Amino acid sequence: MHKQIFINLPVKNLPASKAFFEAMGYSFNPQFTDDNAACLVLGETLYAMLLTEPFFKGFTAKAIVDAKAGTEVLVCLSCESRDEVDSLVAKAKKAGAAVPREPQDHGFMYAHGFEDLDGHIWELAYMAGEPPQE
């Protein structure tokens, strides 16, 4: 099984993206951070690599999707509580994120999310129980 995950996301302005996530309380691993990329630490073995668009283009022959106009991926992070979900969304909004929809309460799961400065969608979910069995 895999031991780590590195999600690679293109960004238009790396310093602004770093400041956005730092305002939310996240940090960066300096070992994998330079002028082209920043390693956002999401958990003990969870990382998002924020890559400048020119650097990102070196990894794919496909066009970069404009995440403000279309969606290619939804990044979902688990949270320890509803309060953590709401707190992170509030911090994201204060740092400049869009919050395009209301929180979703499914009984067993509470979720909310935001769009970062580049339009990437980050979902936050707290699992309060087991999903209903059919």
For 48-74, write each residue's pLDDT tens digit: 999 999 999 999 999 999 999 999 899
What CA dihedral angle connects 102, 22, 64 and 68, to 10 degrees? 30
Domain with residues 5-127, CATH architecture:
Roll (3.10)
pTM recorded for the entire structure: 0.90
User: Using an 8 Å Cβ cutoff, are 120 and 70 in contact?
Assistant: no
Domain positions in the chain are 5-127
CB atoms within 10 A of CB 39: 18
The 10s digit of each residue's pLDDT in 3-57 is 999 999 999 999 999 999 999 999 999 999 999 999 999 999 999 999 999 999 9
